[in-house]
Amino acid sequence: MRRPRRLLVRSGPLSAIPGGVEQPYLPPVPASMPQSAWGEWLARIARTLNEAIFGNINVVLDVTLAVDPAIETVVTDSRIGVFSVVLAMPLSASAGPVWIEPGAGQAVIHHAADVATDRHYRLAIFG
């Protein structure tokens, strides 16, 4: 079955991704609203849910690894917790293997020491 063509609805500020692509950002939907604003509230819930269904969730972060002699890079982000799963996707040819240790508000990326300055990764943070 073919996925329906989606409408590109963007809300909130956009952050730049290398290559000139823009990453959508949807602010969290408030937990409650006054009864007079329920129509707007339901529309925001529907828009956020539809974006999540099409994969537009706020879980990515671009990182460049520290240069030699560093063997670890610390990434600070409020979305990271001790039970988070942090996945790394290399974005450059010089990006080598890494292992990631999540903590409260930060993740430590362990890697080999290297003088390359273009070791770029895109992290996906879940949980």
pLDDT tens for each residue of 82-120: 999 999 999 999 888 999 999 999 999 999 988 888 999
Q: How far is CA 28 from CA 31, 32, 54, in A?
A: 9, 12, 17
How many domains does the chain contain in total?
A: 2
Whether residue 25 is found in the same domain as residue 65: no
Report yes or no: 44 and 65 within 8 Å, Cβ to Cβ: no
- Structural domain of 121: 60-126
Q: How far apart are CA 115 and CA 113, in angstroms?
A: 7
Question: What is the DSSP code (8-state) at residue 18?
Answer: T
For residue 101, what pLDDT is reported?
Answer: 94
Whether residue 30 is found in the same domain as residue 65: no
Whether residue 11 is found in the same domain as residue 50: yes
Whether residue 64 is found in the same domain as residue 108: yes
φ, ψ for residue 3, nearest 5 deg: -70, 140
Q: Which residues contact 59 (CB under 8 A, 6 or more apart)?
A: 79, 124, 125, 126
Whether residue 108 is found in the same domain as residue 64: yes
